[in-house]
Structure formats: structure tokens, C-alpha cells
Chain A
Amino acid sequence: MVILTDVLGVLLDVHLLLVIVASAIYGLVLGAIPGLTALMATALLVPVVMFMEPVPAIAAIITSSAMAIFAGDIPGALMRMPGTPASAAYTDDAYSLTREGKAGLSLGAGLFSSVLGGLLSALVLTLAAPNLAELALQFSSVEYFWLAVLGLSCATFVGGSSLLKGVASLLFGLGLSTIGMDPVSGTPRFTFGVTNLLGGLGLIPLLIGVFAISELLRTVTLPPTDERRAQPAVGSVSAGMGRLMWRHRREVLRGSTLGTLVGALPGAGADIAAWISYAVTRRSQKGKDPNALDQKVERLVSAGAANNAALGGAYIPATVFGIPGDAITAIVISVMFLKGLNPGPTIFLNNPTAIYSIFAIFFVANVLMIPLGILCIRTFGLILKVPRTYLTPIILLFCIVGAFSVENTLFAVGIIAIVGLLGYFMEANDIPMAPAVLGLILGPVIEQTFMTSMLKSGGEVSVFFDRPLAIALAVVTLGSWALAGALKLVDAAKARPVLT
């Protein structure tokens, strides 16, 4: 009770509230600019928060990163340019809703599911932090390998109608992820002497190329009648959202739970959480039309809740054990150390007011997301009023500067053109792009954990099956692949004409 009063006292501080509002606006603006990620928003904040008190410093990071992850949905839904990689999983669904004149529904569903996902993960963070962190700590490279492969299995479910083309796209993405220095020995691979390739193909330029440039290539070739049709207004963002969230409560809950769990695992961030949640929901829609409005919204709310919930989940190992769940919490941990808030089990004994205030800020930030998010959507929605002829080169310039701002090289700008053309041809040939993107994101994790496990065991494949947790994850992963293959065979058998 004493702690609760102390926490309320901290939260009602005007200075803290001003910091939260300012960092919320900052996070929304940065997240909504394609190419600028929540991680970048956090990194850019570090020099500023160094001059703040400990709780406002962490509050600024929590608020701005949560806002940036949501704001990534806005350009994704309006221009098919995911603002952050965490929004990439459902960009196509969100954008297709916009094209159907339902931009308000798409953005509103994203906003409210983000808020609910964030609130639920904050609740879990506050109540069950130590227990969840203990489970995550039992993971070795083998369990991480299976978890990443399970993530890849999702690609088969998020892919298009052809399982083979989905797998080919996935392998292609994994192949692209091997460009650069080998994670174990540091040997350059597929770099052909190009220095810019040593660090690998940057994820953001690739996402910009795959999603935005390929879309621009399609829109410039559209006949004028289609151009006019593709400019609906945003519409109401909040109307009917309460009912919508209640109708899709299962998906929101699923996304929030998955997001919190995935976020709590060190190394797996909001983007992987969104992909997994998206795939699980897509799989649960078996037998329904994937292009139906309700199905699109289900996938959107599930993944939208997951990516924001992952943010809260990542703070579980960060605050309880001082192990970062992702790059953002790695920065948070260093800021906490610098501010004398040493993360670890003792923080709950030594500094309970500070740590519970940090947890409480998650609730405040997520509630604040509703009014500020709507304001941000309204401002950004004005873009739809610009004629598409003018919008195309403006988006193109945003893509160019976005790619350049992440990598600071013109090489990254060139990459968006090449990948954009590749994405265009892949889509034209019914090769789904989502598995390739997932392969790119998970490729380094899979290779690192696979090689570490193989080297540890001296080449014995049995290492992947010799721990109970590993066996459980292996059964789920291999089972999902077998199920996907079996379902495709059944579908093919059903589709075959019956000879009489």
C-alpha cells in the first residue's frame, strides 16, 4: 500500500507527465516516418535522457518506443510503407483495407489493439515478471534455434496459395540474410569485394524496397480510373472500436499473450512477435476466405496487439535479470545502470518505488496512445488528399531519404531500387514476399544458434533433441511443417476432378 501511494506520487509529478507527453509526440512522429524505427527513436533519445532523473529518463524511452511501434502502422496502412519492421507483418492487410475505403477501420483497429496489447503486457509485466523471466533463462542456443525455426514455419502459413513458392521465397530470404560477415568466424560471404555488403543487406532498405518501391512500380502503371479509386479518406478511427475489439477479443488476447511471451525471450523482438501472432491467426482461419474483411481485421488486431505487447514483455528479463529482451531494452538497461537503478532481482528490494513506477508508466503511455494516436492518424491522413500523381514522387523521396538515413550510404538507396524490382516480379509470379522478409529477419538468429549448437556438439545432430524444452519445441515445429504439408495434400486431393 505504501508503495502504491509512492508510485502515485511519482506519477502525478508534472515534470514526469510533461516528459511522457513530449516523448509520446516524438515517438509518434519518428515511428510514422518510414525508415525510422522505434530503436532509432530510443537511440536518439539517449543523449537527452542522460540529463534527466532516473524515472523520467526511462519513462521517455518507454513512451517513445511504444508510440513509435504503433505509429509504424500509419504509413503501412496509408502508403504500404511499414514505418517500423514491427508493422511489416500486416502491412498488406492494412493497406488493402485502405484501398477498399476502410482506412479508418484499419488504423483504428491497429491503434486500439496496440493499446490493449500494451496494457495487457503491462499487467503481465507487473504481476508475473519473475516467473516468466525464469522460463526464458532456461533457453539455450538449441531452444532458440527451434523457436526461430518455429517462427519460420509461420512463413508457410502467411505465404500465398503455393506452399512450394512460399518455401522458395523463405529460402531466398534466408539466402539474402547470409550476405555479409559470417556470424561465427567473421568471414565475408557473397560480398564480392563490396565493402558496403560486409555488414549485410540493411533490413530497413530491404523492407522499403520490398513493400514501398514495388507498390510504387504497380501504381505508376495503373490506368487513371484506378488512380482515382485508390484515394479514399481515412474516416472515423474510433467509431465502433469498442464493439470491434470485443468481437475480436480472442485475437487481441492471443496477440497480447504471444507478444508478451515472445518479447520476454531475449533476442526476439516486436517484429518476430507480430509475425508469429499473424501466422497463428491466419492458421486459425483455415477454411475461411483470407481476403474477407473480418479475416483481415482479425489478423491485423492480433499482430497489432502482439508487437506492442512484445515491448512490455521485453522489460521482464530486462528489469528482473538485467538481460535485454531486444535492442531497445539493451539501451534501457545501460541507462538504468548509468542512473543508479541497477536492474536485477534486488531492484524490487532496493528501489521498489522506481521499478513499480516504471511498470506504471506502461499503463499511462498506452492510455495516452489513444488521443495522441488519433491526432497523429488525422494529421498523416491528410496525405490521402494529395493526388496520387503527386503522392508517388513524394513517397519515392521519403523512401530514398528513409533508406539513406538508416545506413548513411547511397548504396542503401540503390538497394531499394533492386529489391523493389525483385519484389514486383515476385508478386507478379505469385511468389509471396512475406516469407522472404521473415527469412531475412530470422536468418541471422537461425544461423547463429544452429552453428553454435553444432559446434558445441561436435557435429552431433542429436543436440537438437536432448533437452526437454528443445524436444517440446521441436515437436511443435516439425509437427506444424508436417501438418502444413498434409493439409496441402488434402486440398490438392479435394481439388482433383473425380473421374466417373
Chain B
Amino acid sequence: MKVQDVLVGLFFIVIGILMIDHAADLKPPRHLKFGPGFFPLIIGSGLILVGGAIALLGLRTLRTEPLWHRPEWSRTRQGWVRFCSIPAAIALYVLIVDAAGFLLTAVLVMVLVLTVSGEPLRRSLPAGAVTAVVLTAIFASVLHVPLPWGPLQTISGWLLW
């Protein structure tokens, strides 16, 4: 997803303006000469300057380059589905892991990404189950990461030692 440099420059300018705007509200404590907004103010100003320079240089090729260049994969629906499967799988994990537990959620994440890649359920389901069990053994049992168990709390003793 390549965009013209004028847009890249504008992106940095907008970030810089937002930083300065927020930094202006951060007043220094009474006994200090400089406050929490001083450093972000410098960074924000730098972003505006550099963004402006990128945009100015981009103007040279504005007429010859398209504003927006779509990558090859984005021309098909399947490409979009594959691309979105990664953020969608992470979102799914965040939304349901507390209720469903790690084991079930990890299986779902595996099945989602594998199905999108064209793998049949008869292969993706066992692969997901094995991965989930191995990850639970490594992270929950050995490294004591507090992974949620959800409805499978009763069998947690099988994998925790």
C-alpha cells in the first residue's frame, strides 16, 4: 500500500501538530522551569519540519506518480481476506480469551488462519489442538505465565506441573 510522498509528509505533519497540541496542555510543575510538554514539543516541531520537507520533495513527482499504489495482493478478495486474517485473529484472541480460555482460543486462532489459507478443517483442527497444548505446557507450566483457562479450568491440572 504505497502512497505518494506528499501524503507521507502530511502524515508526519499531522502527527507533529497533534503532539504539539497535546504538549501545550501539559504545564510544568510550579517549581520546575520545564515541564512534561517540553520534549514532546521539540519532537512535534521536528516532525512538522521533516514531514514538510518530505512533502515538498514529493511535490516534484506529484504529477508523474499516482497518489495511491495498490499492491498486487489487494486486487483480489482472497488477498484482502488473507491480509485481514492476521489482525482479525489477534482481535479474536483479545475479545474471547478471558471467557473461552487460552486452549480453546488458540485452537480457534489456528483454525481461522489455516482455513483462510485453504487448509481443510480435518487438518487445521488437530494442528491447532497440538499447538495449543504445547504452548500451554511451555508458557503456563514451565514459565508460569498466567494464561486463562476459561471453561477448561477443571482440566488445568493435566497440563500444569
Say if the beta carbon of B62 comes within 8 Å of chain A: no
User: Chain A's interface: helix, strand, loop or mixed, by majority?
Assistant: helix
Q: Across the two chains, which residue of chain A brings its CB closest to B114?
A: A393
Q: Across the two chains, which residue of chain A brings its CB closest to B50?
A: A168
By the criterion CB–CB under 8 Å, are A187 and B26 in contact? Answer: yes
Least CB distance, B70 to chain A, in whole angstroms = 11
Q: How far is the CA of A417 from the CA of B47 in the complex (A)?
A: 24
Q: Across the two chains, which residue of chain A brings its CB closest to B85?
A: A220
Q: Across the two chains, which residue of chain A brings its CB closest to B39?
A: A447
In the complex, chain B residues whose CB is within 8 Å of the CB of A420: 86-87
Binds B, one of A194-202, A264-272, A320-328, A401-409: A401-409
Interchain CB contact (< 8 A) of A172 among B47, B89, B143: B47
By the criterion CB–CB under 8 Å, are A413 and B110 in contact? Answer: no
In the complex, chain B residues whose CB is within 8 Å of the CB of A462: none
Say if the beta carbon of A489 comes within 8 Å of chain B: no
Q: Across the two chains, which residue of chain B brings its CB closest to A392?
A: B113
List A residues 471-493 near B (Cβ within 8 Å): none
In the complex, chain A residues whose CB is within 8 Å of the CB of B44: 175
By the criterion CB–CB under 8 Å, are B117 and A172 in contact? Answer: no
Binds B, one of A2-10, A67-75, A113-121, A452-460: A452-460
Q: A396-B86, A397-B106, A428-B1 are in contact. Are A164 and B57 (CB under 8 A)?
A: yes
Interchain CB contact (< 8 A) of B34 among A162, A174, A389, A451: A451
Say if the beta carbon of B149 comes within 8 Å of chain A: no
Say if the beta carbon of A139 comes within 8 Å of chain B: no
Say if the beta carbon of B40 comes within 8 Å of chain A: yes
Say if the beta carbon of A246 comes within 8 Å of chain B: no
Q: Across the two chains, which residue of chain A brings its CB closest to B123?
A: A390
Binds B, one of A130-138, A178-186, A330-338: A178-186
By the criterion CB–CB under 8 Å, are A414 and B94 in contact? Answer: yes
Q: Of residues A168, A175, A187, A396, which shows the largest number of chain B Cβ atoms within 10 Å of its Cβ?
A: A168
Q: A393-B110, A393-B114, A429-B8 are in contact. Are A416 and B90 (CB under 8 A)?
A: yes
By the criterion CB–CB under 8 Å, are A397 and B117 in contact? Answer: no
Say if the beta carbon of A154 comes within 8 Å of chain B: no
In the complex, chain A residues whose CB is within 8 Å of the CB of B66: none
Q: How far is the CA of A79 from the CA of B145 in the complex (A)?
A: 23
Total number of A residues with any Cβ neighbor in B under 8 Å: 57
Say if the beta carbon of B157 comes within 8 Å of chain A: no
Least CB distance, B37 to chain A, in whole angstroms = 8
Q: Of residues B34, B90, B114, B118, which shows the largest number of chain A Cβ atoms within 10 Å of its Cβ?
A: B90
Q: A171-B50, A175-B43 are in contact. Are A217 and B34 (CB under 8 A)?
A: no
Q: A410-B98, A459-B33 are in contact. Are A221 and B82 (CB under 8 A)?
A: yes
Query: How many pairs of residues, A versus B, come closer than 8 Å at their CB atoms?
Result: 166
In the complex, chain A residues whose CB is within 8 Å of the CB of B51: 168
Q: A413-B93, A417-B87 are in contact. Are A455 and B36 (CB under 8 A)?
A: no
Q: How far is the CA of A424 from the CA of B83 in the complex (A)?
A: 11
By the criterion CB–CB under 8 Å, are B38 and A451 in contact? Answer: yes
Per-residue CB contact flags for chain A residues 424-435 toward chain B (1 = under 8 Å, else 0) read 110011010000
Least CB distance, A211 to chain B, in whole angstroms = 14
Q: A220-B82, A447-B39, A459-B34 are in contact. Are A389 and B47 (CB under 8 A)?
A: no
Q: Across the two chains, which residue of chain B brings its CB closest to A400?
A: B93
Range of interface residues on chain B?
Answer: 35 or more
In the complex, chain A residues whose CB is within 8 Å of the CB of B50: 164, 167-168, 171
Q: How far is the CA of A340 from the CA of B131 in the complex (A)?
A: 45
By the criterion CB–CB under 8 Å, are A175 and B34 in contact? Answer: no
Say if the beta carbon of A190 comes within 8 Å of chain B: yes
Per-residue CB contact flags for chain A residues 377-395 toward chain B (1 = under 8 Å, else 0) read 0000000000001101110
By the criterion CB–CB under 8 Å, are B86 and A213 in contact? Answer: yes
By the criterion CB–CB under 8 Å, are B40 and A401 in contact? Answer: no
Least CB distance, B147 to chain A, in whole angstroms = 7
Q: How far is the CA of A286 from the CA of B97 in the complex (A)?
A: 50
Say if the beta carbon of A421 comes within 8 Å of chain B: yes
In the complex, chain A residues whose CB is within 8 Å of the CB of B116: 220
Q: How far is the CA of A217 from the CA of B143 in the complex (A)?
A: 28
Least CB distance, B47 to chain A, in whole angstroms = 5
Q: How far is the CA of A233 from the CA of B136 in the complex (A)?
A: 28
List B residues 42-91 near A (Cβ within 8 Å): 43-44, 46-47, 50-51, 53-54, 57, 71, 73, 79, 82-83, 85-87, 89-91
In the complex, chain A residues whose CB is within 8 Å of the CB of B93: 400, 413
Least CB distance, A288 to chain B, in whole angstroms = 26
Q: How far is the CA of A378 from the CA of B125 in the complex (A)?
A: 28
In the complex, chain B residues whose CB is within 8 Å of the CB of A455: 32-34
Q: How far is the CA of A339 from the CA of B116 in the complex (A)?
A: 56
Per-residue CB contact flags for chain B residues 18-35 toward chain A (1 = under 8 Å, else 0) read 010011001011001111
Q: How far is the CA of A459 from the CA of B132 in the complex (A)?
A: 56
Interchain CB contact (< 8 A) of A396 among B22, B35, B113, B118: B113
Q: Which 6 pairs, one residue from A and one from B, show the smallest C-beta to C-beta distance?
A: A182-B36, A221-B73, A393-B113, A417-B90, A187-B36, A405-B145
Binding site for B on A (CB under 8 A): 30, 33, 36, 44, 162, 164-165, 167-168, 171-172, 174-175, 178, 182, 184-185, 187, 189-190, 213, 216-217, 220-221, 389-390, 392-394, 396-398, 400-401, 404-405, 408, 410, 413-414, 416-417, 420-421, 424-425, 428-429, 431, 447, 450-451, 454-455, 458-459
Besides the contacts A187-B29, A401-B145, what 16 more A-B pairs have beta carbons closer than 8 Å? A164-B57, A168-B50, A171-B46, A175-B15, A190-B19, A216-B86, A217-B83, A220-B117, A393-B114, A393-B128, A396-B109, A397-B110, A398-B135, A413-B93, A414-B91, A414-B94
- 24 A-B pairs with C-beta separation under 8 A: A33-B143, A44-B143, A164-B50, A168-B51, A171-B47, A174-B43, A175-B44, A178-B40, A216-B86, A389-B118, A390-B127, A393-B110, A393-B113, A393-B131, A397-B135, A401-B145, A404-B147, A405-B145, A408-B145, A417-B87, A421-B87, A428-B2, A429-B8, A451-B34
